Amino acid sequence: MKKKYVLRPILAIAMTLALSACGGGGTSSNTESFVAGNGTVTFMKVAERIKAPQITGETLDSKTYAPILGKVTVVNVWASWCSPCRAEAPTLSALSQSFPEVNFVGILTRDNPANARAFVKRFSIEYPTLIDDSILLGFRKSLIANAIPSTLVIDKNGLVAGRISGEITVASLTDLITRLASE
């Protein structure tokens, strides 16, 4: 009889954890090793910043991308199957239009180019998306892309200055961009 009562709390905890892994709130992971961030914003002081990796390569439309140096750069790590990525896509697209002086670039991860092209078309994303996510390894000594989506912001000097772990908001990304633009 005791076993039955001991297993119920364990089963309840297991169910709670399983269900919370599917939600967008908090940092959690599901069966596909997907980690959803909670929108946490990190901003680095100038003295603590580390050089960003070279963000160049082939894009979804088979072109070669290289950012314009001396500009703030927003790097969004995404996948077409990611619900928070779909939710933030219209906001990122609009902000890229609102800040033409800023480099916007996507990095596709854990996805295939055909699905990604459909995503880009659906959300009218005009900035380029790189298809080689090995670029992300270059961030390992600074602010890593620790969730999908993650948005990294690089200052005018090519240093990693900020990160939004999870879905961006207009306010969170606008704040990072304007802080860096005024430096």
What structural domains and CATH numbers belong to the chain? 2-181 (3.40.30.10)
Predicted local distance difference test score (pLDDT) of residue 8? 46
How many Cβ atoms are within 10 Å of 72's Cβ, its own excluded?
23
Q: Cα(33)–Cα(79) distance, rounded to whole angstroms?
A: 13
pLDDT digits (tens, 9 = 90+) for 76-127: 999 999 999 999 999 999 999 999 999 999 999 999 999 999 999 999 999 9
Element (H, E) at 115: helix 113-122
Count how many residues are written for the chain: 183
Residue 62 has pLDDT above 90, yes or no: yes
Predicted local distance difference test score (pLDDT) of residue 37? 75
Q: Cα(57)–Cα(129) distance, rounded to whole angstroms?
A: 9
Residue 29 has pLDDT above 80, yes or no: no
Residue 25 has pLDDT above 50, yes or no: no
